Structure 1
Amino acid sequence: MSTTAATRPTNRSLGGRRGPWARLQPFVVILAVVLLVGMPLWIIVVTAGKTQAEALNPNLALPQHWQLWQNLAQVWHDGHVPTAFLGSLVIMVPAVFIVLIFGSAAAWILARRTSRVVAVFYALAISGIVLPPAVVMIVLLLRQLHLAGSIVGMVGVYVGMYLSTVIFFVTGFVRTIPHELEEAARVDGAGPLRVFLKVILPLLVPVLSTATILICLYIWNDIFYAFFVIGGRVQTLPLNLYNVASAGLYLNNWHLIFAYVILMSLPLLLTFIIAQRKIISGITSGAVK
């Protein structure tokens, strides 16, 4: 009884110290999310559902007559979306696969070695996160290798750009995996490659799920590097949108441009909704461990 009585004033005092800002914080956060995320999404959706005349000045007003599906269908056929969608997949899928495999293997080696030389290699490996690649040098190098304007060259550029991200994500996670698991596999006769594929790689699924979504998001929406490397030769969704908009097909047709944006964003949005639990678990598990 005495303990309960002693704690009650403390609880009241803690509650009494909460100022007005502490009570308003949740509402401020919700309002910020609505303004920064909700309003742009709302403008995109309502503008994509309007006619050309209504969409000349994009705003928050609802369309008089919804024609979202008609606009999406027109963009799908007239904007060559299937071809651009296939081009984005052909580049993104091998790039992400190579980055995950080689980045995980490099992170495993760097995490299991403790020396100054390895520390220097690790610093160099993750330096790509903060050091932007030089576009001119990339283009010149690809021309020397006869890979400019090719899918192979574009995949190589993305692998080089995002390998640092995977190494950074995975290295800390690998250090939390007990060495006994690898030693047990080696006792059973497994070589280094088999240890990595059978023991280490399955344990990296949560953190690799997070890295996969982030890299897919970067590659899927990239237009800057794709424009200089494969512009005019291979169509991706951002490049195709730029080409059709600048060519006059969608000039002042904001309803079609926003409809294209919806089609381009829909695959990643659905992927994020389905895999959001794995993404969050990958982030939190790496932070806790």
Structure 2
Amino acid sequence: MTVTGVPLPTTKNSPGRSAQRGNTSKRRRLLQPALAIALVALLLGIPFWLVIATAGKNQAEALNPNLAPPSQWQLLENFATVFQQGRMIPAFFGSLLIMVASVAAVLALGSMAAWILARRRGKGIAIVYALAISGIVLPPAVVTIVMLLRQLGLAGTAAGIIGVYVGMYMSTVIFFVTGFVRTIPAELEEAARVDGAKPIHIFVRIILPLLGPTIATATILICLYVWNDVFYALFVIGGRLDTLPLNLYQVASSGLYLQNWHLIFAYIILMSLPLLLTFVFMQRKIISGITSGAVK
């Protein structure tokens, strides 16, 4: 082909060149996920190995925690020592009591509040919703909380710390559940009202069964926060009721745990097992709850 008598160059894609570009693109698509997985495994695997290796050492080897494996594994022996001498059983039941009561209360109150906020419209409701989820980014004032609990006579009690956790994590439940409820057709509720169902029956029989994935997500998140909390527990119930993190904090610098890093790391492993098992059994619902509640 020519223009004004000047021939124009023609380009042709040879089959070899196209195949080479295809192979390069395919290798790149495979390499990027592999590198991402390797990086995540490295970032998570090193801390996990440090904890497990230190928990399996004796006192002399664990004095300076490092990534070296123990010369002789004594993980089970350290677990037994923690159980027998570390006051772990009473602390476990204290953590279980506070966590179960806090999670049940915050899920019940938060899901009902989220249902109302999701079904109402108007500027006033929008303002209330903004205030309800503001607790996600606004930290609570510890001094004010402690002073208020002392005036109410709840300082140093299980009821006091349960009330603190319910107030702190109500915003998280409202945020997740409101987004999910808005995806539920309102016609289901209208049909139930026509049949004469009361609001509490509509919520329990229609809305609540549909909130399974979102409730599972909120449950594991709040369990994680409450189970591992030592800061608020120290100020509210410090010394009057044992929890696992609070007990570990109190004895880590004295007595059995003085310079015994192998026992501290063994305690951490045992303390983390209940949440790890909960996450393994609920991971599918957690993922679907995050995508349906937070994204939608």
Q: For the superposition of Structure 1 and Structure 2, which TM-score range results when normalised by the shorter chain?
A: over 0.9
2:213 is aligned with 1:206: yes
Alpha carbons of structure 1 residues 284 and 15: separation in structure 2 relative to 1, 3 Å: farther
Q: Give the CA RMSD over aligned residues.
A: 2.1
User: Which residue, out of 153, 160, 163, partners 2:167?
Assistant: 160
2:26 is aligned with 1:37: no
The percentage of counterpart residues that share the same residue type is 68
2:197 is aligned with 1:190: yes
Q: Which amino acid aligns with 1:217?
A: L
**Cα displacement (A) at 1:62:** 1.3
**Cα displacement (A) at 1:284:** 2.6
Alpha carbons of structure 1 residues 28 and 193: separation in structure 2 relative to 1, 3 Å: same
User: Counterpart of 1:174?
Assistant: 181
**Cα displacement (A) at 1:265:** 0.3
User: Counterpart of 1:59?
Assistant: 66
Question: Which is further off, 25-34 or 131-140?
Answer: 25-34
2:132 is aligned with 1:125: yes
Distance in 2 (alpha carbons) for counterparts of 1:228 and 1:210: 28
Long gaps (5+) in structure 2? 1-14
**Cα displacement (A) at 1:59:** 1.3
Distance in 2 (alpha carbons) for counterparts of 1:131 and 1:228: 19
User: Counterpart of 1:220?
Assistant: 227
1:134-177: CA deviation from partner (whole Å, max 9, x where unpaired): 00000011011110010000000000000000000000100111
Alpha carbons of structure 1 residues 15 and 102: separation in structure 2 relative to 1, 3 Å: farther
1:52-99: CA deviation from partner (whole Å, max 9, x where unpaired): 111111111111111100100100110111100000011010110011
- The TM-score with structure 2 as length reference comes to 0.90
CA contact under 8 A between 2:179 and 2:294: conserved in structure 1? no
**Cα displacement (A) at 1:244:** 1.2
2:289 is aligned with 1:285: no
User: Which residue, out of 79, 82, 86, partners 1:75?
Assistant: 82
Distance in 2 (alpha carbons) for counterparts of 1:17 and 1:127: 48
Q: How many residues align?
A: 282
Q: Indicate the structure (1 or 2) with the bigger Cα radius of gyration.
A: 2
Alpha carbons of structure 1 residues 181 and 212: separation in structure 2 relative to 1, 3 Å: same
Q: Which amino acid aligns with 2:76?
A: W
Secondary structure class of the residue paired with 1:246: coil
